[in-house]
Amino acid sequence: MAPSCCWYYGTGFTVSDSSSDGPEIRFVREPNSKDDAICVFCDGKFFEDIRASDLDSIRALFNEKEKELSLAVAKVEELTRQLEELRRGRSTRDPPPASALELDKLRRELMYRNKLNEQQNQRLHQQREALTARQEEMSAIDKRISELQERLHRETSAESTTGESN
């Protein structure tokens, strides 16, 4: 009976089943971080779930910020319309009304939020690229693990066959 998957992020951790006569099963390599650990029991599928949930949360945050931005744009457009109406109805010597000052303040805030949104999009793009690279690396490692397991199985089978024939 194979032991259940044990995620441990320390060094030198060994998983073994005392009721089994088979060899000890070890983690494939020492992980550098939580996202870097690979367990032979679950083939790294755990991290695919985490990455999908991370992407979902990033998408949700992006959608939320997009809604905030659209609300701010609508408010700016409304205040711009009101400002144009006020400009048509007053002389150039009058001091600017409070709504014009608020409009100017909102425009500055909108530019600031646009800049922040652009920076977040750049970070998100970089994170997606890094995630893709990690997924490709995980696939290559999984493939190598499979090849090594297959090779080990062939060698074990060959040894048992030659041991039985002697």
What CA–CA distance (Å, rounded) separates 39 from 51? 16
Domain extent for 98:
43-130
Same domain, 87 and 119: yes
Mean predicted confidence (pLDDT) in 120-145: 95
Whether residue 34 is contained in a domain is answered as yes
Share of the chain above pLDDT 90, in %: 40
Residue 135 lies in a domain: no
Q: Is 25 domain-assigned? A: yes
pLDDT for position 49: 57
pLDDT of residue 55: 79
pLDDT digits 0-9 by tens, 30-61: 455 555 555 545 555 555 556 777 778 888 88
- Distance (Å) of CA 33 to CA 14, 26, 49, 50: 17, 17, 17, 14
**Pair (7, 69) in one structural domain:** no
When pLDDT is averaged across residues 108-117 and rounded to a whole number, the result is 94
pLDDT for position 144? 97
Return the percentage of the chain with pLDDT > 70, whole number: 65
The verdict on 38 and 108 lying in the same domain is no
